[in-house]
Chain A
Amino acid sequence: MNFTLYIWRQRNAKSKGKMVRYRATDISPDMSFLEMLDKLNADLAAAGEEPVAFDHDCREGICGTCSLVVNGVAHGPQRATTVCQLHMRHFKEGQEIWIEPFRARAFPIVRDLVVDRSAFDRITQAGGFISANTGPAPDANSLLVPKEEVSTAMSAAACIGCGACVAACPNASAMLFVAAKISHLAHLPQGQPERRRRALSMVRAMDGEGFGNCTNHEECEAVCPKEISVRFIAEMNRDYLRAALTTAEPETAS
């Protein structure tokens, strides 16, 4: 297969970027999208041109590293699929493909298609944990958790932290990411003691990072490769409100 690609090239955070046109030739329909880019990079190298930088690691949809907007959609056209798991058989011969980074004020560009998502780490540091020390913890079965609750917690915990939700949101909001973490822990008995404090500090950290507000477009859910539900955002809002009403100021997490 052959394709015409338009790819965002930008040398570093400070320089200006632009879309550049390339030809991808001899692509097998069985290649993944990233393998198609590998092939392009090999061809570019043969012509003495620097490769297109893009982020990736596991290439099996779990690490959350890959982060491309393909034809305007974060992770591309296939539902519930990271771009590393997207295969070229889903494209039409000769098609034009536009490839851009995940764009958001809180995700500055590092180079080409690579962005800096460390804001997510900082939000997690603000409270996305249970403060359990390493040491002799109570027997795992001393705490019974209904199967349905664990299953809901797991559905939220499945978030891979890729940031597609932010890239897809017209406001570049990180609500789905933050809600997924808050709901994961809120559905478990271990997560209860810090539940309110967690919601308060994480939401405030999110605001502090410059992510936008949620105005219920639900684009995030549509692109989420793990199909995290927007109902977790509602849950988070409830937790946040309750916490804001009952707590004075969040203590800094320790």
Chain B
Amino acid sequence: MTATAHVEAPSAVAGPPLVGSPLDGRAPSGPVEQKWERFRRDMLLVSPANKRKFTVIVVGSGLAGASAAATLGQLGYNVHCFCFQDSPRRAHSIAAQGGINAAKNYTGDGDSVFRLFKDTVKGGDFRSRESNVHRLAEISANIIDQCVALGVPFDREYSGYLANRSFGGAQVSRTFYARGQTGQQLLLGCYAALSRQVAAGTVKMHTRMEMLDLVVVKGKARGIITRNLVTGKVERWAGHAVLLCTGGYGPVFYLSTNAAGCNVTATYRAYRRGAYFANPCFTQIHPTCIPVHGDFQSKLTLMSESLRNDGRVWVPKKEGEKRQPNDIPEEDRDYFLERRYPTYGNLAPRDISSRAAKQVCDEGRGVGPMGRGVYLDFRDAIKRLGRSAIESRYGNLFEMYNRITGDDGYAVPMRIYPASHYAMGGLWVDYQLMSNLPGLFVLGEANFSDHGANRLGASALMQGLADGFFVISDCLGNYLASTPLEPVKADAPEFVEAQTETNVRIDKLLSVNGKRTPDSFHRELGQLLWDHCGMSRNARGLARVLERVPELRQEFWENVQVLGHYDEYNIMLERALRVADFMEFADLLAYDALVRDESCGCHFREEHQEDGECRRDDENFCHVAAWEFRGPDERPVLHKEPLAFEAVGLASRSYK
């Protein structure tokens, strides 16, 4: 593929963005490896006797939220924790399979804090904040210790020592895992710690409660508005700080590997209240998912990336190949990852592997009923290692594949295709995990800071737990100890106003009486974004999204169907509220993608490529794009946080 000419977008939607004041990440001065220590040396503390006087609202009970709530409760804060599932143990973190990274160097293969830091910065294509990433790498080892103390049954060797594997293309074995259910076991560890605090009375857990707005009083985040999903009651909650640990927005594409309930509402509503949204266009598309098979499909199942350690990815060389995969001889197969990336081969990072799969399918060489799939073939591995070795490594994954597709992955190559998986973008936070809105902290997948334009495997779990167990307690304490906060009650006018606005929104949805379900709007929105703002983007397609989304949004508010009442368990209303926010957020995502006129990591702008690879523009785009909401029909304002790479040094990212 050759570089295409730069396509000008229609000026109505494109135009240059309104640029506001630059942002400062407020990292302490000094060399990167000393910053966290310096911060901790200088931070202020809340005295033990005073902690219980502070009410902290934690939204979310995934790895980030549960670990934060448990830790803050243990320290003595008065914590209220919210989640929309019926139990905190069901947060989406439960679904993580592969593992969690830590720079323990237990295998003695050359790992170190610096290497993990450097891999993560490079993996993110130099669009993350060095200081945050270094802290993450420093803390990573403590996480494993903490989790073992909580009873997480990580896999072990016969010696009794912890086992490690290499994951997601890393050249060292630094990934810890608990069979294929690492996320589950980590979350159950956090859930146990959280349950202990609930029993101790330091944390009050509110399940089936959805946050629908953030309340800002005199410029500071002071509370939230929730809807009780069982009774429909809309309530006000006041506190001294609000922690959003609400996960990612992968389902903006409708189909994704995320749980059905994952949504953007909490972070988007905070954005509408003044919190900046950073790099919304950085969305990770994971290469190894089971392909779409039909119109009523509700989710795409991830097949752990570890399969690429032994499976070989290929498509037929010929377009429109009709033969069965096993009848296609070696010379007619294109092992395109091995061909294009000889050093990393099938283990090339996610963004690169996904894009390569899309490209071969676009060329008409995709496989399967809809032509959107590539083979993941274990024939050679079975020949080399024997079927039983493959079975013991990946048995549960083959079984899952068989369950969903009805096919036997041992006998015929599996079919896989990329799917929306993770949001690197999220609310902007400074070094102390605080948004530009004082008192609003954002943890885990919901923030933007550590993964830049592409996340490496096994590093989301690490980040969620670093934020929740080890970073937030110091940062929150520092904020509360250094900020005078007036007492605020939940009946203050700002709360009542926000509650009224939420009720109005609910009434409006219930009174449209239209013909189309929220789900059908969500599907259409998702398809539109997937087509033009997915694995590859160009100015014309993005302009199309920016034209079409407002139309779709208008149709939504004129024709959405929400049956039932507000004061009951109402799955259609629940859905409609989330879809309404996706509809608004989609604009922001596409606009960010349009304005970032370069290619980096997951963000592949067709106009900027070299031999099919991303061409970064460090001169103009080596910054975080943080967007400020200016009004429902107004263009958002762009605040840039310049990124400096002092410890790693900007380099082009090559896996060839």
Contacts and interface: CB of A to CB of B under 8 A. Distances in A.
B188 interface: yes
Interface string B553-572: 00000000101100011011
A121 interface: yes
Interface in A99-130: 110-111, 114, 116-118, 120-121, 124-126, 128-130
Contact of B153 (A61, A117, A161, A188): A188
B149 A254 contact: no
B519 interface: yes
Nearest to A11: B568
Given A133-B74, A253-B199, A146 B160 contact: yes
A35 interface: yes
A121 B161 contact: no
B259 A129 contact: no
Contacts of B158: 146-147
Most A-side CB within 10 Å, residue of B299, B405, B564: B299
Given A38-B296, A45-B561, A147-B157, A12 B149 contact: no
Contact of A65 (B86, B104, B157, B178): B86
B205 A42 contact: no
B298 A34 contact: yes
A150 interface: yes
Interface in A146-162: 146-147, 150, 153-154, 157-158, 160-161
A87 to B, nearest CB: 7
B77 interface: no
A117 B208 CA distance: 12
Contacts of B198: 121, 125
Interface in A37-81: 38-39, 42, 45, 48-51, 53, 55-65, 81
Contacts of A118: 86-87, 207
Nearest to B96: A62
B85 A48 contact: no
Nearest to B147: A140
B322 interface: no
Interface in B15-72: 67, 70-71
| Residues of A contacting B: mostly | loop
A118 B154 CA distance: 27
A116 B296 contact: no
Interface stretch (B179-187, B237-245, B373-381, B450-458): B179-187
A252 B200 CA distance: 9
B492 interface: no
A131 interface: yes
B568 A111 contact: yes
A85 interface: yes
Contacts of A42: 517, 519-520
A157 B568 CA distance: 35
B159 A144 contact: yes
Nearest to A185: B151
B484 interface: no
B265 to A, nearest CB: 15
Nearest to B185: A157
Contacts of A49: 563
A132 B193 contact: yes
A31 B294 contact: yes
A116 B104 CA distance: 42
Contact of B298 (A59, A87, A110, A126): A59
Contacts of A111: 568-569
B195 A136 contact: no
Interface stretch (B5-13, B138-146, B306-314, B503-511): B138-146
A38 B298 contact: yes
A59 B255 CA distance: 12
Given A35-B297, A137-B148, A138-B149, A147 B67 contact: no
Contact of A64 (B89, B147, B178): B89
Interface string A173-200: 0000000000011001011000000000
Interface string A1-43: 0000000000110000000000000001011101100110010
Contact of B94 (A31, A58, A124, A145): A58
A140 B296 contact: no
Contact of B569 (A114, A121, A188): A114
Contact of A184 (B151, B156, B299, B571): B151
B403 A81 contact: yes
Contacts, number: 219
A31 B406 CA distance: 11
A87 B193 contact: no
Interface in B501-548: 517, 519-520
B199 A254 contact: yes
Contact of A254 (B150, B200, B299): B200
Nearest to B89: A161
A85 to B, nearest CB: 6
A57 B259 contact: yes
A190 B157 CA distance: 18
B261 interface: yes
B191 interface: yes
A157 B192 CA distance: 12
B154 A150 contact: yes
Interface string B247-270: 000000000000111000000000
Contacts of A61: 400
B293 A253 contact: no
Contacts of A85: 400, 403-404
A245 interface: no
Contacts of A63: 85, 90, 92, 94-95, 259
Nearest to A57: B259
A138 B142 CA distance: 9
A134 B149 CA distance: 9
Contacts of B147: 140
Given A38-B298, A63-B94, A63-B95, A125 B87 contact: no
B162 interface: yes
Contact of B148 (A28, A45, A140): A140
B409 interface: no
Nearest to B200: A254
A89 interface: yes
Contacts of B301: 59-60
B393 interface: no
A195 B620 CA distance: 60
Contact of A154 (B153, B563, B572): B153
A248 interface: no
Given A130-B192, A184-B153, A252-B199, 13 more contacts: A38-B519, A56-B260, A63-B95, A118-B207, A121-B89, A125-B198, A130-B150, A135-B146, A136-B142, A137-B148, A140-B154, A154-B179, A253-B196
27 contacts: A31-B296, A45-B563, A45-B572, A51-B563, A57-B85, A57-B92, A58-B90, A58-B259, A59-B299, A65-B90, A81-B403, A89-B406, A121-B205, A128-B192, A129-B193, A130-B150, A132-B146, A134-B146, A137-B142, A144-B160, A144-B161, A150-B156, A158-B179, A158-B181, A161-B90, A185-B151, A254-B196
3 nearest interchain CB pairs?
A144-B160, A129-B192, A137-B149
